[in-house]
Copies of this chain bind each other. A is one copy, B any other.
Amino acid sequence: MSTVRGARERARAEVTAAIKDEARRQLAAEGAARLSLRAVARELGMVSSALYRYFPSRDDLLTALIIDAYDAVGAAAEAAHARSDHRSGLACWVGVSAAVRTWALDHPHEYALIYGSPVPGYSAPQDTVGPASRTALTLIAVCREAYVSRGMALPLLPEQLAPEAQRMAADFAPDLPPAVVAALVAAWAQLVGLVSFEVFGQFHRVVEEREAFFSYAAAQLGVSVGLLGEV
């Protein structure tokens, strides 16, 4: 009985994976706005109504792709953190940043899905917030390590922003100084800006030495949050 159920579940997981794979292919070809359950079904030799056994709606399929994408960058960031030199906070920071960039360049359409323009008519459900925060949490972890073991330079924080920074610190990293947390949030947005410019082609005929330039800018961001070490 349990083997039957196991086989059934395995089959279901396989079909689910096949659907997501085909949907990702369409994402690349047509964009998220044009993702169509029917086209996915046709390509898989299924009938469109059969897909609804796996994803109740187009938006649910989109949600699954978004969660997968967030999880994939998050995993890449965590792996980079695990294998990086924990003696230098700045090296960790640059390593994690570079992992995000590499993943984005390898999966431009999934990157666009999570950090590009919102899909019109789609609003992300609560299920995405956990996976969405994995990468940012990794950068926070890098700072936490550096802070507790070797200390950090405290970034400047305008008085006016002190309450906001305290709130953010209480929400995301109560063990870090508010000035570091505020700088971290800004640096995370700025890091994604760097990656987006490269992935979306804005560096065409502007930056040629992409990898070196990114390392330079990422290190600069690491310094801006207070990480120490030679650039």
Residue of B32, B189, B208 near A193 (CB, 8 A) is: B189
Given A29-B120, A117-B117, does the pair A185, B207 have CB atoms closer than 8 Å? yes
Given A33-B31, A197-B189, does the pair A213, B117 have CB atoms closer than 8 Å? no
Contact stretch, chosen from A41-49, A61-69, A81-89, A160-168: A160-168
User: Which residues of B have CB within 8 Å of A203?
Assistant: 189
- A-side binding surface: helix, strand, loop or mixed? helix
Residue of B117, B189, B205 near A31 (CB, 8 A) is: B117
Interface set, chain A 141-192, CB cutoff 8 A to B = 155-158, 160-161, 164, 167-168, 172, 182-183, 185-186, 189-192
Interface set, chain A 47-92, CB cutoff 8 A to B = none
Instruction: Tell me whether B182 and A186 are in contact (CB under 8 A).
Output: no
| Interface membership of chain A positions 192-217, coded 1 if the CB is closer than 8 angstroms to chain B and 0 otherwise | 11101100111101111100110011
Rounded to whole angstroms, the CA-CA distance of A128 and B70 in the bound complex is 32
A19 lies within 8 A of chain B by Cβ: no
Rounded to whole angstroms, the CA-CA distance of A117 and B69 in the bound complex is 15
A119 lies within 8 A of chain B by Cβ: yes
A229 lies within 8 A of chain B by Cβ: no
Rounded to whole angstroms, the CA-CA distance of A221 and B191 in the bound complex is 12
Rounded to whole angstroms, the CA-CA distance of A186 and B215 in the bound complex is 11
